[in-house]
A and B are shown apart, each in its own frame.
Chain A
Amino acid sequence: MSTQANGNVGIVIVSHSPDVAKGTAEMVRQMVGEEVPLAFCGGNPDGGLGTSVEAILAAIDRAWSEAGVAILVDLGGAETNSEMAIEMQPEARAGRIVVCNAPIVEGAVIAATEASGGASLETVRRTAEELSPA
């Protein structure tokens, strides 16, 4: 789709647990390789279980790709905080970051697999969301 190094959709993993976020990212790297910009974050601003908008903003920056970024989340606050982080993005990124309604581990692996083949953000999201029960 693109010959740019950052031409593939980036993946961001947001879990309440730093360990889950890190472990999920390790699975993505092992199963999908280095072809996809990937970042993860987990834990609240004090380092306990939870999520942090500040950390999500930083993760989006690290995984940023002109093709967009797909975010995989675990539970409630991870989703709400990710949506907040998306709204706080600069205008130039508008519409190019989505939260996938998919299980975090399976969703991250399948989204990254799709992204590594150069799929569009919408295709990456749709593929990840096929994992969710209707």
Chain B
Amino acid sequence: MIDEAKKRALIEAMAAAMVGHAEELTALDQAIGDGDHGLNMKRGFEAVLADKDVIAAKPLPDALKAIGTTLVMKVGGASGPLYGTLALALAKELPADPSRDDLARALRGAIAAVKARGKSESGQKTMLDVLEPVAAALENGADPVTAANGAAEATIPLKAIRGRAAFLGDRSIGHMDPGARSSALLVAAIAGVLEGGSNGGG
């Protein structure tokens, strides 16, 4: 059950992950992007954190809608609409008390929305390269955090086709995608809260 306390804990964990890794994300983005990913995600999630009590009191779909809208408005880079769309799509797809199957199904729907927003597909060195393996792990009973971390690592040899990194072409090879890394960090933060709960089912 994702109750109010758990929703607050989820917001705190996601914000802590983004604030705590802002410099790392920015360093990754300096290598192949414009170097603002860490600061942008930090700004967005600090704005969510500032509203945590109001957001956590809402039913899960409404809470996700509030988070998505805040990210869209506050992040300030392409990752705002992309993560915002992810949250807004999850808000539409998830029931108030989702099962793991609900999560997997909703994530698939949200991935489709992110693809449309970013005009992107898997294999192009983006956050999608983490989200799709996470959805597969949820479907197959595998550990989503392991899947996310492995998938983020697997973006290192990829060549960027979308986003600013695409300007670099072959020079984008050899660097982890910052959006893939932030996605993996958020997955780990979310799983840490959900799996640390009462039934450990995740």
Interface residues of A (CB under 8 A from B): 16, 44-46, 48-54, 75-77, 79-81, 83-84
Query: Contact: A45 with B117, CB < 8 Å?
Result: no
Question: How many inter-chain contacts with C-beta < 8 Å in the A-B complex?
Answer: 59
With A76-B164, A83-B117 as contacts: A44 and B72 at CB distance below 8 Å: no
Docked-complex contact A80 and B76, CB < 8 angstroms: no
Q: Is B175 an interface residue (CB 8 A)?
A: no
Inter-subunit contact A50/B81 (CB<8 Å): no
- CA A84 to CA B118, docked complex, whole Å: 10
**A69 CB to closest chain B CB, in angstroms?**
18
Q: Do B84 and A84 touch across chains, with their CB atoms under 8 A apart? A: yes
Find chain B residues with CB under 8 A from A75 CB: 34, 164
Consensus secondary structure, chain B interface: helix
Contact A50–B77 (Cβ < 8 Å): yes
Q: Determine whether the beta carbon of B81 is less than 8 Å from that of A81.
A: yes
Question: Which of A16, A52, A75, A77: most chain B CB closer than 10 A?
Answer: A77
Q: How far is the CB of B16 from chain A (nearest CB, A)?
A: 20
Q: Which of A46, A48, A80, A83: most chain B CB closer than 10 A?
A: A80
CA distance A81 to B84 in the complex (A): 11
Task: Decide if B127 is an interface residue (CB 8 Å cutoff).
Answer: no
* Alpha-carbon distance A84/B119, docked complex (angstroms): 13
CA gap between A87 and B163 in the complex, in Å: 20
Residues of B within 8 Å of A, CB-based: how many? 21
- Residues of B whose CB lies within 8 Å of any CB of A are 34, 36, 39-40, 43, 72-74, 76-82, 84-85, 117-118, 163-164
A45 touches B84 (CB 8 A): no
| B163 proximity list for chain A (CB < 8 A) | 76
- Select which of A50, A54, A79 is within 8 A of B73 by beta carbon: A54
**Chain B residue contacts of A45, Cβ below 8 A:** 43, 73-74, 76
Nearest A residue (CB) for B116? A83
For A52, the chain B residues whose CB sits under 8 A away are 73, 76
B82: which of A49, A50, A53, A80 is its contact (CB, 8 Å)?
A80
22 contacts between A and B (CB under 8 A): A44-B36, A45-B76, A46-B43, A46-B76, A48-B36, A49-B34, A50-B40, A50-B76, A51-B77, A53-B80, A75-B34, A75-B164, A76-B78, A76-B163, A77-B78, A77-B80, A79-B78, A80-B117, A81-B78, A81-B80, A83-B81, A84-B84
Bound complex: CA A45 to CA B76 (Å): 6
Residues of A within 8 A of B82 (CB): 80
Please tell me which one of the listed residues B34, B39, B73 contacts residue A53 in the complex, with CB atoms under 8 A apart: B73
- Extra inter-chain contacts (10) besides given A44-B43, A48-B36, A76-B163, CB under 8 Å: A16-B34, A48-B76, A50-B76, A52-B73, A53-B80, A80-B117, A83-B81, A84-B72, A84-B84, A84-B117
